[in-house]
Chain A
């Protein structure tokens, strides 16, 4: 096992230091130290990943070193080695955060197994940190689409308040990117190493939202078979995004206000006071002032939330950003579906001039559908108009009477014929396969079934895909 990790051996016995160095130098970058009182300084100055620590050291005992590491929150995996069989020492070491404990003289293999496990753990942690960094990077302000004056102003405001823990209230129509802004706030702040959690207050039943927010104790109510940690607690030191906050009941608003003021709460059914340091970012597609006037939102909570208000413009009010969005979504979905679709200039101008009642979400949806369904290399205005007209039709009509363009099967002029489910499913499968050029993977993905299920259905209905991209 060869690694790039740095390992420090702390033992006052020269023979033990030398032996461990000989044992481990082929796997780690090894350094040694013979005193307890210089270990902490050494850990702080160099990036030591693993510490092999004897408990009896001059200057400072191993237990005191462990305690200092724990109190100073120094990130290092500690393996304790000791000549003493004392179980009390073992328990104390583990309680102080030691990864494992070995009694001298130990088998080399036991130590190597412990170190192998530590390396695996460190590799996983590094991977998580890297992924977290990548996710965070995508939410950096410079990576968020927005060059219109209104968006630049928003970024400028947010940069000033991002590390101040103040509550932020985002007001914007549906589909304007409120959650993206919330994530941007989190991942650009000094809280980015801690969790980001979100709750959509419009989708969770009101009788369950308390449990989502604050958690519950086992037995707090019927169905509470275990303790649940609420999102406030999970996101402590991080950020909690409360989307559609206007949907909270008045009771829940009162509880939320208390937490914002006192920074503490109790789980449902619990007695223990839990202190949290959670930054709140709230969002609403309605102006909360109107709801306050209608007595549907508490005024005191409104003022507590509205410390830094952010008004996200609708897409039609930031037309300069539309071509950037088009470019971004085109790249994204061309990559995802392995296509090379372009959009001609006239079409881009058309898209830029459109009203976009569904905002960015609607634009993304249109681009995605365009990439998916288009059989040409370049999409033109006509195709886009067709898609948009269909959408407008669907919004105003019953969905069962309308079919997406290019996909027939539910024509209201056809006489009503009773058919078996299998017949309906077979016909639908054949049509979807045809639309996705008989690509089984893409068809399965859009039907939201696995490839295996897809193959089973093809077998069931005796549908054979030939190499010439036809079905029989």
Chain B
């Protein structure tokens, strides 16, 4: 058995950052309570803060666990174009204005359509559009054939997007620069793995392309 120590170190660093912030609030308020114990409003606020932050830590852990509790999927052929279009249309109207998808030919893939829907939703809704003003997302599909697998490419461009590291960007809590919670790319990677698909990253100047091979 071989363990990638560097990967584990990175994982621990990422996770500790997510946990240390709520711990800072908990510890800070607990210390202040020693001085302000007679201020009933403050006592109530401290109670609320401690509970909220404990729940935040708990929810981060649960979100990771939930992925591992996903039901096993039945592999079947489905029309990917319909699933992709449906996923995009169910997203926030303001956000989906930044997304372009123009299927050129029918795309039939094997796997779990719910996984594909979730992946597209993550890429659309999970991206931090506020921090990356000017960014747009374009989706393209290729039907495959002649030895090539069917594929979907999701490309972010139009903003100052610095490079991602392929060997680390899919780790939990690794990417907070472009995504909201840092778990988005990990979830996508996980879904691809469970669905029998592969995902790779292509950095090309200011554009970042994720290619999923079905």
Contacts and interface: CB of A to CB of B under 8 A. Distances in A.
A15 B32 contact: no
A304 interface: no
Contact of B25 (A19, A58, A83, A109): A19
Interface in B41-93: 42, 45, 49, 52-53, 56
A105 B17 contact: no
A19 B29 contact: yes
B164 to A, nearest CB: 15
A105 B20 contact: yes
Contacts of A22: 29, 32, 42, 45
A35 B131 contact: yes
Contacts of A84: 13, 16-17
A108 B176 contact: no
A108 B32 contact: yes
Given A15-B52, A15-B53, A58-B176, A83 B31 contact: no
B103 interface: no
Given A56-B176, A84-B17, A105 B23 contact: yes
Interface in A210-232: none
Contacts of B21: 11, 13, 15-16, 83, 104
Contacts of B18: 83
Contacts of A58: 128, 131, 176-177
Contacts of A15: 21-22, 24-25, 49, 52-53, 56
Contacts of B23: 104-105
Interface in A1-49: 11, 13, 15-16, 18-20, 22-23, 35, 37
B176 A19 contact: no
A127 B69 CA distance: 64
B17 A19 contact: no
Contacts of B99: none
A11 B56 CA distance: 17
B97 interface: no
B161 interface: no
B171 to A, nearest CB: 15
B17 A56 contact: yes
Interface string A75-99: 0000001011110000000000000
A16 B25 contact: yes
Contacts, number: 72
A105 B26 contact: yes
B127 to A, nearest CB: 12
Contacts of B16: 83-85
Nearest to B31: A108
Contacts of A37: 131
A428 interface: no
Nearest to A22: B32
B159 to A, nearest CB: 11
A107 interface: yes
A106 interface: yes
Main secondary structure on A side of the interface with B? loop
B98 interface: no
Given A22-B32, A84-B17, A16 B24 contact: yes
Contacts of B28: 16, 19-20, 23, 105, 108
A85 B20 CA distance: 11
Nearest to A61: B177
Contacts of B29: 19, 22
A59 B131 contact: yes
Q: Which of A105, A107, A109 has the most B CB atoms < 10 Å from its CB?
A: A105
Given A83-B16, A84-B17, A19 B177 contact: no
A11 B21 CA distance: 10
Contacts of B20: 83, 104-105
Interface residues of B, number: 27
B38 to A, nearest CB: 15
B27 interface: yes
A109 B32 CA distance: 10
A27 to B, nearest CB: 13
A109 B18 CA distance: 23
Contacts of B56: 15
Contacts of B25: 13, 15-16, 18-19
B59 to A, nearest CB: 13
Contact of A83 (B17, B27, B45, B53): B17
Contacts of A109: 31
Contact of B24 (A56, A59, A104): A104
Contacts of A108: 28, 31-32
A15 B176 CA distance: 18
B56 to A, nearest CB: 8
Contacts of A35: 131
A340 B61 CA distance: 83
Interface string B152-190: 000000000000000000000000110000000000000
A211 B28 CA distance: 55
A33 B131 CA distance: 14
A108 B25 CA distance: 11
B20 to A, nearest CB: 4
Contacts of B13: 84, 86
A20 B177 CA distance: 24
B49 A105 contact: no
Interface in B112-134: 128, 131
A285 B53 CA distance: 77
B66 to A, nearest CB: 23
A107 to B, nearest CB: 7
A105 B24 contact: yes
Contacts of A81: 24
Interface string B1-26: 00000000000010011111111111
Q: Which 4 A-B pairs have the closest CB atoms?
A: A83-B20, A15-B25, A105-B24, A83-B17
Given A23-B32, A81-B24, 13 more contacts: A13-B21, A19-B28, A22-B42, A22-B45, A56-B176, A58-B177, A83-B16, A83-B18, A83-B20, A104-B23, A106-B27, A108-B31, A108-B32
Interface of B: 13, 16-29, 31-32, 42, 45, 49, 52-53, 56, 128, 131, 176-177
12 contacts: A13-B21, A13-B25, A15-B53, A16-B21, A19-B29, A22-B42, A59-B131, A81-B24, A83-B19, A105-B20, A105-B23, A105-B24
